[in-house]
Amino acid sequence: MRRRKTAVAGGCCLAFLLGTLLNLLFIPGSEHPPPPRRELPPSSPPGAPLDPPEEEIGGVRAALARQIRQRYEEVLRYRQHRAAPAAASAGRRPLRPRERRLMDLAPPRTSAEQPGPRGRAAAGPGAGAWAELSLEPPLLGCRDIRDVGGVQYLGSGYTKAVYKAVLNRTLAVALKAVDFGGHDIAHCVRQFSALGDCYRLAAYKIVKEMILLQRLRHDNVLQLYGYCYQDSNDIPDTLTTITELGSPLEMIQLLQTSWEDRFRICLSLVRLLHYLAHSPLGSVTLLDFRPRQFVIVDGELKVTDLDDASVEESSCTSNSDCFMEFPARNFTLPCSVEGRCQSMNEKRNLYNAYRFFFTYLLPHSAPPSLRPLLDKIVNATGELHWGIDETAAQLERVLNLYKSGEYLQNTTWVPKAEYRRVPEAHIPDENYRCWPSYHHKGCLLSVFDVNEAIEICDSYSQCKAFVLTNQTTWTGRQLVFFKMASNHIVPDPDKITYVKVTD
């Protein structure tokens, strides 16, 4: 038995040795060496992958070309309805002298899409599309930003970088351009190794935003002043837009401001959303709805980032297709007989306004008599029981109650003290702090009339006097300084002082 096992083991070892010898004698690599490893071209960025096979190159180029064309066609849809249809060159409208065909208009087809040389003025998708993206003559152009001063980097997102600049030493503007170090460009170059085409893909988002800024004319949409083409990073005709300059929206700072200013932000937002729901383009939704997409200009909220806006209403066959998902709530909207989710764009905007703005800014430190109505507005939008029309109407009602002083008529306040009126007088010191206040070192509040000022002074134990100024807020309400004493009163023709004489 032991001899048989030894013979079997010996046979296995002999077969293994014979197989190894045959592999060494007849290995095919000795006659046909493998193809050499191809080196990266000199223009490839450091760390770029090796060149793919030719058939893969064609597929990659075609994929990038398709993305560019899709982006172009998206831009065209926002502009197309403004231009008269043209089926032949004879019917094309001439460009005005200063009018520029953006991005050389239709993206040229690459060799992956069709044979032949690339042309900078290649035709777009469909006859007559060559002039569809042209904008109105800009108020400002390259000549105006050639010698700008005070250029300051403000920030950047996935696609754009934003800078502050001062024109002619007087006009402060925002300059927006594709960020070559941003996510969109970096991701595209890693995938396609084509900086020029990747720039074109990203720049179409700026073109889309330019068109929307011109089409959506509203007090709460940032103004487009102009644009400029200039060579940059070895890419011809890179695009820079020139827009109105606003201050970033800082929610922490907003929470420390007066209720009146916070209400103004919410009212501005609702007026904007009401306009977007009934805009010339149809119902517009802001897909990237965050506070950083807005700025404040002279106290008014304005949307500044529109490259992710959309007018596409979701199609559906049943209500289950109209599902909106948010971090804390989900909603299912009705599917219309036309196969569209009813008011989805409007309701998406409205709920985002509720979760980012209304819950934080509307109810806190509001006048007590207005809080029931404000709570009703917050709850109705949080449950999407109201649309934007009703929400806008209710906020306008709050504004009217506040400006007219009607919100004071339902109070049962009785004065606790008597006050002596001192005309043309002011108390320069004797400040105390209150929250929220228009002045960080004193208690400066807005009032509808003297009676409201007396009521406020009565509510603060440290208040012994107040000074009516000649300054007013955006609602026309008068600004009043509340003081902790009246030991030093000085003449001032623009102010009136009230001193508490009894407690």
Q: What is the pLDDT of residue 435?
A: 84
More confident residue, 503 or 408: 408
Measuring CA to CA, how many Å separate 176 from each of 80, 157, 304, 454? 24, 11, 11, 50
In sequence order, the β-bridge partners of residue 377 are: none
Measuring CA to CA, how many Å separate 145 from each of 131, 141, 414, 417, 502? 26, 7, 61, 61, 63
Average pLDDT over residues 425-450: 91
Catalytic status, residue 288: yes
Say whether the peptide bond before residue 368 is cis (omega within 30 degrees of 0). Answer: no
| Active-site choice (261, 288, 308, 458) | 288
Measuring CA to CA, how many Å separate 489 from each of 77, 227, 280, 281, 424? 66, 55, 58, 60, 10
Q: What is the pLDDT of residue 34?
A: 32
What is the rounded radius of gyration, in angstroms, for the C-alpha atoms of the chain? 34
Confidence of residue 499 (pLDDT cuts 50, 70, 90): very high
Q: What is the pLDDT of residue 137?
A: 65
The DSSP call for residue 357 is: I
Cβ-defined contacts of 489-495 (< 8 Å, 24+) = 489/422, 489/425, 489/426, 489/427, 490/425, 490/426, 490/427, 490/428, 491/424, 491/425, 491/426, 492/424, 492/425, 492/426, 493/424, 494/469, 494/470, 495/424, 495/425, 495/426, 495/467, 495/468, 495/469, 495/470
Distance CA 51, CA 31 (A): 26
Distance CA 292, CA 358 (A): 16
Q: What is the pLDDT of residue 497?
A: 97
Q: Mind listing the pLDDT tens digit for each residue in 459-481?
A: 888 999 999 999 999 999 999 99
Report residue 282 as tokens. Answer: 């149809």
Q: What is the pLDDT of residue 331?
A: 95
Dihedral sign for Cα 85, 91, 95, 101, please.
positive
- Which of 97-106, 185-194, 272-281 is least confident? 97-106
Q: Mind listing the pLDDT tens digit for each residue in 276-323?
A: 999 999 999 999 999 999 999 999 999 999 999 999 889 999 999 999
Average pLDDT over residues 427-450: 91
What is the four-CA torsion angle of 56, 57, 62, 63, rounded to 10 degrees? 70
Report residue 346 as tokens. Answer: 């409007």
Q: Could you tell me where the DSSP H helices lie in 278-410?
A: 344-353, 359-361, 371-382, 388-404
Residue-averaged pLDDT of the chain:
80
Distance CA 383, CA 329 (A): 9
